[in-house]
Every structure is written in C-alpha cells, then in structure tokens.
C-alpha cells in the first residue's frame, strides 16, 4: 500500500486551463503539505494543512487553491495555468510539525504548453 499517493503522475495542458492534483495519505497523519520542485530541483513549500486547517501559505498566487476535505486528503487546484507553473508538485504528510519527518508522494509532473 502506497503511504502517500498522488494522481495524476503526469499532466500536460495548455496555458489558461484549470487542473487539479489529488493527494491521499493512509498513514493517519494530521499534517499534509504541498511542495513545488522547479526545473533546477529547488524544492519549496507551498501550503501546509493541519487537521484540515490551513497553517502555511507561502506567498503562493491565489490561482493555487488547496482543499482538504478530511485530514487524509489534500488536493491542489490551479486556475489559469501559466508557463511558470510547470514543475513537479509533491504532496507530503507528517505526524505533526515537530516530528522532523515528512513522507512524500512520488510527485506529479505538470507541463504547461
């Protein structure tokens, strides 16, 4: 059983479209995250949710809207996609903010044409 699973794994779309990436974790963790990894492999936090509540929003454009229907799921919706949104998006979870270990999904590679 995959601990943190993301779908889809690959997304290719045109500029201006809207897309969603789904994430589910079966670890029973309270905290979930979205990270963006750019073409230079730089990994930066976008959002953090603790028990369905938004904890961190790291100056991400409001075209990006996370939604957490329950603590096992954290989805990412992106409106009006731009070329610069092309990246690999990683979902992660942890037992809590002080545990020091994130469990990552395999990533969703988004390509905007």
Partner 1 sequence: AQSVTQPDIHITVSEGASLELRCNYSYGATPYLFWYVQSPGQGLQLLLKYFSGDTLVQGIKGFEAEFKRSQSSFNLRKPSVHWSDAAEYFCAVAASNFGNEKLTFGTGTRLTIIP
Interface segment toward partner 1; rule CB under 8 A; list 13-21, 63-71, 74-82, 102-110? 102-110
Task: Indicate whether 70 belongs to the interface with partner 1 (CB under 8 A).
Answer: no
Task: Indicate whether 44 belongs to the interface with partner 1 (CB under 8 A).
Answer: yes
Q: Quick one: DSSP state of residue 84?
A: G
Task: Indicate whether 68 belongs to the interface with partner 1 (CB under 8 A).
Answer: no
- CB neighbour list of residue 42: distance below 8 Å, 6 or more residues apart: none
Interface segment toward partner 1; rule CB under 8 A; list 11-19, 41-49, 59-67, 69-77? 41-49
Q: How far apart are CA 96 and CA 85, in angstroms?
A: 28
Looking at the DSSP bridge assignments, the partners of residue 20 are: 77
Burial tier of 74 (Cβ tally within 10 Å: 0-12, 13-18, 19+): buried
Task: Indicate whether 12 belongs to the interface with partner 1 (CB under 8 A).
Answer: no
Q: Which residues bind partner 1 (CB under 8 A)?
A: 4, 31, 33, 40-45, 48, 55-56, 90, 92, 94, 96-107
């Amino acid at each position: 059983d995959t601990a943190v699973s993301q779908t889809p794994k690959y997304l290719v779309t045109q500029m201006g479209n809207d897309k969603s990436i789904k994430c589910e974790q079966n670890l029973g963790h309270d905290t979930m995250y979205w990270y963006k990894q750019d073409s230079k492999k730089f990994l930066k936090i976008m959002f953090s949710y603790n028990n369905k509540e938004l904890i961190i929003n790291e100056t991400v454009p409001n075209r990006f809207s996370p939604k957490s229907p329950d603590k096992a799921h954290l989805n990412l919706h992106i409106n009006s996609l731009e070329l610069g949104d092309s990246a690999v998006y990683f979902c992660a979870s942890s037992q809590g903010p002080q545990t020091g270990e994130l469990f990552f999904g395999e990533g969703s590679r988004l390509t905007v044409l």
